Amino acid sequence: MSIVKGVHHVAYRCKNAKETVEWYKKYLDMDFILAIAEDEVPSTKDPDPYMHIFLDLGGGNILAFFELPTKAEMIAPSDANTPSWTQHLALKVDSVEVMMQAKARMEADGIEVIGPTDHTLFQSIYFRDPSGHRLELAASTMTPAMGKALDEVKWDMLEEWDRTKKAPQHARWMHDGSYAA
């Protein structure tokens, strides 16, 4: 059994703390719950002023950001060797309807939104926050039978991937539309 009891918070850098708080409230209805500002980093003792903001993701989860005014401007939220679609934060929503309402709000303000994308287990949309972080809203469409089918093949898939570095076909039904409950 894991000693970890959940995620305390996930933290990213942002370009502007105030803009970030306002954006997450407007488009994702996240409440601003805490701000911490220091002139010295507590863990390293580096003299480096920052603003650390915390947003309520719901369900006891917290999304946090650091604004670092003395550091060089952010170039990209991921490293040069990692495709920009890889590193993202996927957030659960209650339904496809809620997801589509968020999409409409963003698109009305000129924010580019990809999707909805049908992943069989869930529907999702993708977009970027003002600092360029890729976000996903996901609405579950998974049935218990789908979950069971995936659970039964997960280790075989992982072992095959580890040997071949090619996509195993054990769960092809997720992508080719052949799933039958």
Report whether pLDDT(177) > 90: no
Q: How far apart are CA 95 and CA 147, in angstroms?
A: 18
- The pLDDT-based confidence of 44 (bands split at 50, 70, 90) is confident
> Does 45 have pLDDT greater than 90?
no
* Helices and strands per DSSP (H, E), number in the chain: 4, 8
Q: According to the model, what pLDDT value does residue 34 have?
A: 92
17-28 and 96-108 helices, crossing angle to 10°: 130
pLDDT of residue 8: 81
What DSSP character marks residue 123?
A: E
Query: Token pair for residue 81?
Result: 């060797």
Q: What is the pLDDT of residue 31?
A: 96
Whether 33 shows a pLDDT value over 70: the answer reads: yes
In the predicted model, what is the mean pLDDT of residues 90-99? 94
- Please say if the pLDDT value at position 178 is more than 80: no
Helix (H, G, I), strand (E, B) or coil at 158: helix
Tell me the HSE value of 109 on the side-chain side, using a 13 A CA sphere: 12
> Does position 17 have pLDDT exceeding 80, yes or no?
yes
- What does pTM read for this prediction? 0.84
